[in-house]
Amino acid sequence: MRMRPAWSYAQARLQARHGERLQESDWRALEAARSLDQYLERSRATSLRRFTERLNAGMSSHTMERVLRAAWRDYVAEVAGWGAPDWHAAILWTAPLPDLPAIDVLLRGEAPGWASQDAALAHFLTAEHVTREKSALTPLLPLPKREKTLPARWFAHWRSLLPQGAPELPILTRLAATIEAHSGRLSRAGPQESSAPYRRELMQAATRMFRRHAGSPVAAFCHLLLVALDLERLRGGLVRRQLFEALPGKEAA
C-alpha cells in the first residue's frame, strides 16, 4: 500500500516510537531485576518510562493498574493526534480495550471498591448514570438491539467510527480477526501453558503489518497493538515482583 500524504507525519512519529521499543535482550535485562524497586528503576531507563514514571513500589496493585491504564489512554490520545482527523475517533476508541474485563464485571452488578477510583470505570457503577450523562463509553452498554457480548459491542462501534469507503478497511478487518484468534487461543490454553508463544506470534504478525502498511492508518493500529502487548508484559513483571515481596519470609534482592 502506498504511503498516504496525510499520514507521512504520523508515520515518521510511529517509526521513531517503533524503534524505541524494547528488544528481547532489553526485556531480559529488565526481567533480571528481582525487586520491584529495581524493576521500576530499570524500566525508567528505557522507553517504558512514559508508563512507569508515575509508579512507585509503595503503591497497591490496584493503584498501579489505574496508573498504567491512565498512561495507556494518554498514549492512545497522543497517537490519535498524529493522524488524519477522520481517523481520530476510531483510534481513540482503542483506549477502552484494556478496561473491557473490568467493565464486564461492573455491568454484571459487581463493584469492587477500587473501581470508583478510576474515572473511566466509575461511569459503569450504575448503567443509568452512563445513559444520562451520554458518556463516551455509552456504546458499550447492553441496550436493546445491540450485540450480546461486550467485545462485540466494542467492535461494532469501532467499525462505525472507521471512515466509510477507506481502502484500509479489509486490512483492519484482518487485523481484528488476528487479535480475536489470539484471544481465542489464550482462552483455550491450559493452566500450565505459557502465554509467551502466543504473544510472540501476535507481535510478529502486527510487526509485519506495521511494515507492510507504513504510511497508512493501519500502521497506527498495529503500533498501538504492539505497545499494548509491551504493557501487558510490563504489567506481568510488576505484579510478579509485588506478589513476591508480599510473601511472608521473602526478602527481595
- pLDDT tens, 81-126? 999 999 999 999 999 998 888 888 888 887 777 777 887 787 777 6
* Closest among 136, 76, 134, 140 to 104, alpha carbons compared: 140
Task: State the Cα angle at 134 between 132 and 136, rounded to 5°.
Answer: 150
Number of helices (H), then strands (E), belonging to the chain: the values are 13, 0
Q: How many CA atoms lie within 13 A of 127 on its CB side?
A: 13
Whole-number CA gyration radius for the chain? 19
Q: Domain segments of the chain: what residues?
A: 5-246
Alpha-carbon distance of 173 to 50, in angstroms, equals: 30
What is the distance between the alpha carbons of residues 34 and 26, in angstroms, rounded to a whole number? 15
Maximum CA extent, the chain: 61
Q: How far is CA 149 from CA 139, 153, 178, in A?
A: 12, 6, 19
Q: At 64, give phi and psi (nearest 5°).
A: -60, -45
Tens digit of pLDDT at every position of the chain (253 positions): 556 677 999 999 999 999 999 999 999 999 999 999 999 999 999 999 999 999 999 998 889 999 999 999 999 999 999 999 999 999 999 999 988 888 888 888 877 777 778 877 877 776 555 554 567 888 998 888 899 999 999 999 999 999 999 999 999 999 999 998 888 887 787 776 777 888 899 999 999 999 999 999 999 999 999 999 999 999 999 999 988 775 555 544 3
Give the integer Cα–Cα distance in Å for 120 and 170: 31
pTM, two decimals, is 0.90
C-alpha–C-alpha distance, residues 214 and 223, integer Å: 10
Distance, in Å, from the CA atom of 189 to the CA atom of 176, rounded to the nearest integer, reads: 20
Look up residue 227 and give its three cell numbers.
505497545
